[in-house]
Each structure stands twice: as C-alpha cells, then as structure tokens.
C-alpha cells in the first residue's frame, strides 16, 4: 500500500472537518447579525431589571454603546450556533458509529440550547447579583463613590454569564463522549478528585472572594458533574446491552 493511499482518507477527513467548521462560522455570523437587531430589546430589558437599577451607568467612550450591542449579539450568536456546531460534530463522527449509536447521540443536540439558556439564567439571576452585591459593599465600605461605566458593567456580567452557561453543557458533553466511546463512567469516577478541584477553582474565579458565593456556585457545578457521571453510566450500560444483543445474534446466525 502506497503512502498516498494512507494520506487520502486523512486529507478527506481534514477537508470535511474544514467544511463543517466553515458551516458553523457562517451560522455564527448570521446569528450575530440577527442578534444585533435583537440587541436593543435585550439591552432595554437588562438595563431595567435586576442589578442595573441600583447604579447610574455612564458611557466613557464613543464606542461603549456599540460594544455592548456587540456583546449581546455575541451571546445570541453563541446560543444559536452552539447546537448547530454540535450537530456538525455529530455529522463528522457519525460515519464511525453504529446505527443505534448515531440515533442515540443525535438526540442530545436539541438539549444543547436548553442547557445553555438554563446556565445563562442561573448565572444572571443568582451568581451575578451576588457578585454585584459583594463588590458594591466593598466599595462602599472603603468610602468610595460608585461611578461605573456601562461597558464595565456589561463586561463584568458577561464574564460571569458566558462561562457558567458553557459549563452547564457538561452533562451533554459527557454523554456524547461516552456515546462515541471516548469516555466511560469508570474513568470519570477515577478523575473525580481532579474534576472537583477544577470545578471549585472555576467557581472561585468567577465569583466574589467570599465563602458563601463560592459555595453557592461550586455546589451546582459539582452536582452537574455527578449528574454527568450518572448519565454516562446510563449510556454505557445501554452500550453493553446492545453489544450483548449483537453478540447473541451473531452466535445464533453462526449456528
């Protein structure tokens, strides 16, 4: 067999991967453009609800307003493109999967957007107000006058919301990787200590430096990991049953 015969499948796979990445980027750009039209309504809701009402926000740059609209549009673009990206990933790996595995892993895609929205809601309604309250109390205790730029406010908010929303995809990611035989529940249990450490580290980084906030964020993340391990076990057991059924059918056919 010549080297070119080995290289052709690799080049075909790389070409297909490149094509699917381009598809995802196109969808993201289109969603970003659509998000710019919706950004005004989203901004009006954000500025009139929650923590924003407690501050007199100011613009310190001519580009602050445009930057905020772009940040809102980016979140919308990610929310729309993420399920499509997962679908393209499934299309890329599906030729190497059995028919049952293809249908099983495809079912995860519609839930990507749902978990992203739940993560956004958890971050915005629970973590972000705690962070604002803590930082504001420290500022007032120092006798400082709170004068914030609107770009600072929204950057602070998005730096909390986006990572948490992406972390909420963990159960689906684990199930998908289990479905394509990359992960197993045994391996996840073996990695539990290091995974706990990393999740607690993330919780400490994205929350104010007080124990209550860290605890309130770390616990849901750890629960997400345990849910992921459980769901991985469910997928893994189904794989074992399917394999046993295939082996039984082969034995019957050979007889």
Mean pLDDT, rounded, of the chain: 85
Query: Quick check: 214 and 207 in contact, CB under 8 A?
Result: yes
State residue 148's pLDDT score: 85
Structure-block tokens of residue 75:
């979140």
Neighbours of 193 (CB within 10 A): 9
Question: Distances in Å between the alpha carbon of 170 and those of 24, 117, 220, 221, 231?
Answer: 20, 14, 12, 9, 11
Question: Distances in Å between the alpha carbon of 233 and those of 105, 209, 220?
Answer: 14, 35, 20
Element (H, E) at 58: strand 57-58
Closest CA to 209 of 138, 144, 110, 158: 138
State residue 164's pLDDT score: 87
Higher pLDDT, 83 or 179: 83
Query: Quick check: 154 and 214 in contact, CB under 8 A?
Result: no
Element (H, E) at 153: helix 150-167
Question: Distances in Å between the alpha carbon of 59 and those of 50, 68, 144?
Answer: 19, 11, 19
For residues 132 and 46, what is the distance between their CA atoms, to the nearest angstrom?
14
Give the single-character DSSP code of 127.
I
Which position has the token pair 């309504």? 41
Higher pLDDT, 151 or 7: 151
State residue 102's pLDDT score: 80
Give residue-wise pLDDT tens across range 82-95: 999 999 988 888 88
For residues 11 and 18, what is the distance between their CA atoms, to the nearest angstrom?
10
Neighbours of 42 (CB within 10 A): 16
For residues 23 and 91, what is the distance between their CA atoms, to the nearest angstrom?
12
Of the pLDDT bands very low, low, confident and very high (cuts 50, 70, 90), residue 143 is confident
Q: Where are the domains of the chain?
A: 1-97+106-168, 169-255
Element (H, E) at 115: helix 110-122
Structure-block tokens of residue 126:
């629970």
Give residue-wise pLDDT tens across range 209-234: 667 667 777 888 899 999 999 999 98
Q: Which long-range contacts (CB under 8 A, 24 or more apart) does 52-55 make?
A: 52/153, 54/132, 54/136, 55/146, 55/148, 55/153
Structure-block tokens of residue 121:
């809601």
For residues 109 and 169, what is the distance between their CA atoms, to the nearest angstrom?
11
Q: Is the pTM of this model over 0.85?
A: no
The yes-or-no verdict on residue 132 having pLDDT over 80 is: yes
For residues 110 and 114, what is the distance between their CA atoms, to the nearest angstrom?
7
Of the pLDDT bands very low, low, confident and very high (cuts 50, 70, 90), residue 4 is very low
State residue 208's pLDDT score: 63
The yes-or-no verdict on residue 5 having pLDDT over 60 is: no
State residue 144's pLDDT score: 83
């Amino acid at each position: 067999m010549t080297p070119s015969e080995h290289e052709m499948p690799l080049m075909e796979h790389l070409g297909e991967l490149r094509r699917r990445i381009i598809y995802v980027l196109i969808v993201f750009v289109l969603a970003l453009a659509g998000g710019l039209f919706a950004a005004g309504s989203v901004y009006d809701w954000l500025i009139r609800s929650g923590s924003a009402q407690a501050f007199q926000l100011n613009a310190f740059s001519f580009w602050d307003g445009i930057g905020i609209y772009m940040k809102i549009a980016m979140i919308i673009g990610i929310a729309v493109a993420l399920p499509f990206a997962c679908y393209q990933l499934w299309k890329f790996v599906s030729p190497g999967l059995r028919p049952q595995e293809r249908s099983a892993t495809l079912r995860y895609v519609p839930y990507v957007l749902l978990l992203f929205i739940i993560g956004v809601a958890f971050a915005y309604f629970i973590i972000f107000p705690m962070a604002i309250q803590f930082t504001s109390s420290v500022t007032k205790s120092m006798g400082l006058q709170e004068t914030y730029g609107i770009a600072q406010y929204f950057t602070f908010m998005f730096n909390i919301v986006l990572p948490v929303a992406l972390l909420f995809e963990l159960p689906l990611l684990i199930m998908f990787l289990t479905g394509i035989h990359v992960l197993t529940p045994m391996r996840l249990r073996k990695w539990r200590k290091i995974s706990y450490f990393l999740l607690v580290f993330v919780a400490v980084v994205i929350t104010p430096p007080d124990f209550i906030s860290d605890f309130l964020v770390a616990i849901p993340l750890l629960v997400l990991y345990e849910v992921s391990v459980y769901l991985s076990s469910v997928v893994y057991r189904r794989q074992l049953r399917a394999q046993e059924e295939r082996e039984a059918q082969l034995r019957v056919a050979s007889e």
